[in-house]
Amino acid sequence: MQKGRASIEFDEPPAILSSASIAGKKEGEGPLGSCIDVVELDDMFGTDSWEQAESAMQKQAADLALEKAGIRKKDVRYLFAGDLLGQLIATSFGAVDLEIPMFGLYGACSTMGEALCLGAMTVHAGYADRVVSLASSHFATAEKQFRFPLGYGNQRPYSATWTVTGCGAVVIGRADHNASGCPRITGATPGQIVDLGAKDSMNMGAAMAPAAVHTIRQNFEDFGVDESYYDRIITGDLGEVGKKILLDMMKQSGHDLENVYMDCGIEIYDSDRQDTHAGGSGCGCSAVTLCAHILPRLRSGEWNRVLFIPTGALLSTVSFNEGQSIPGIAHGVVIQRG
């Protein structure tokens, strides 16, 4: 129910019944590689275009999450899904075969947070017994959409991030007897757009950090907690540059996050070895890290409670070329061990 100014507390917390992660070769070679369910060596995923590849990845992740939960697609009432592409085409073509009523979401790289919030809200309210929440990105579709043709071989500054080829999908369901041991979504802090005027699209960490700070502070205030309440506070894809800004800004407001802070973009690659500069990004970055790295630790009991905050940089090539700033958004989700 309503908690503070912007948050929701789930008194009967919905469970994450299963999760599945699919990713590309580079992600498979990264630190989380051995924990990703399927590492596909063909970046085209057997299709004819990058976009179809991303759709195929979504479908595969959803199917695997359903299989792990032991349910069929007709047992899922709603789908909450999104990607980075204009008009969400990876999702439109990825979700069509699921034949599940769908809510298309766009929150840039924060989409998995948005999908978890709405999925948990829907299940908790009794509108559905089970929903699927997923988000994806693909390095090649994102480069094509936002930057340069791959063959151009452009150079990137160290503040730039590398778009993750990957999809994470979870089945969220009522916390009944089937859900024993499953992580629970106990709270949500949907974020607002924050625009401090950052304009460098090669430094999205700086553009998103203030939004993440806003959401974390809102979460602390609404739930009456601080950093000691969480085993980990995990942002989506701030990368090395955004991480520094976030830690500085939080320190200025009296919170030292040094010992609990983690960023999916930093975890998913070994940036020195893999030449990914500031880290990973894209909707798939936090979605894959959630499924491959975070949820397993909540299942094993290594962590008891995390604040998961996928972060999004709200820009398009049009807004960038017109000289607009890059607003950020970040959606917070509290996940506890089952």
In the complex, the residues that contact its own copies under the rule CB under 8 A are 1-2, 6, 8, 48-49, 51-52, 77-78, 82, 84-89, 92-93, 95-96, 98-108, 114, 117-118, 121-122, 124-129, 144-145, 189-195, 314-319, 322, 324, 327, 329
State in angstroms the smallest separation of the CB of 53 from its own copies. 12
SS3 for 130?
A: strand
Query: Rounded to an integer, what distance in angstroms lies between the CA atom of residue 286 and that of residue 293?
Result: 10
State in angstroms the smallest separation of the CB of 111 from its own copies. 8
State in angstroms the smallest separation of the CB of 128 from its own copies. 7
* Closer Cβ to its own copies, 1 or 41, answer by number: 1
- Which residues, in sequence order, are CB contacts of 326 under 8 Å at separation 6+? 195, 198, 199, 200, 201, 204, 207, 313, 314, 315, 319, 320
- Which residues, in sequence order, are CB contacts of 248 under 8 Å at separation 6+? none
SS3 for 109?
A: strand
* Closer Cβ to its own copies, 98 or 179, answer by number: 98
* Closer Cβ to its own copies, 106 or 261, answer by number: 106
SS3 for 69?
A: helix
State in angstroms the smallest separation of the CB of 168 from its own copies. 19
* Closer Cβ to its own copies, 80 or 303, answer by number: 80
On the 0-12 / 13-18 / 19+ scale of CB atoms within 10 A, 34 is exposed
- Which residues, in sequence order, are CB contacts of 162 under 8 Å at separation 6+? 26, 139, 269, 274, 276, 277, 279, 280, 281
* Closer Cβ to its own copies, 105 or 182, answer by number: 105
* Closer Cβ to its own copies, 153 or 197, answer by number: 197
* Closer Cβ to its own copies, 114 or 237, answer by number: 114
Greatest Cα pair distance, the chain, in angstroms, is 54
State in angstroms the smallest separation of the CB of 329 from its own copies. 7
State in angstroms the smallest separation of the CB of 41 from its own copies. 23
State in angstroms the smallest separation of the CB of 100 from its own copies. 6
Query: Rounded to an integer, what distance in angstroms lies between the CA atom of residue 10 and that of residue 331?
Result: 16
Q: Comparing C-alpha atoms, which of 203, 149, 182 is closest to residue 325?
A: 203
On the 0-12 / 13-18 / 19+ scale of CB atoms within 10 A, 23 is buried
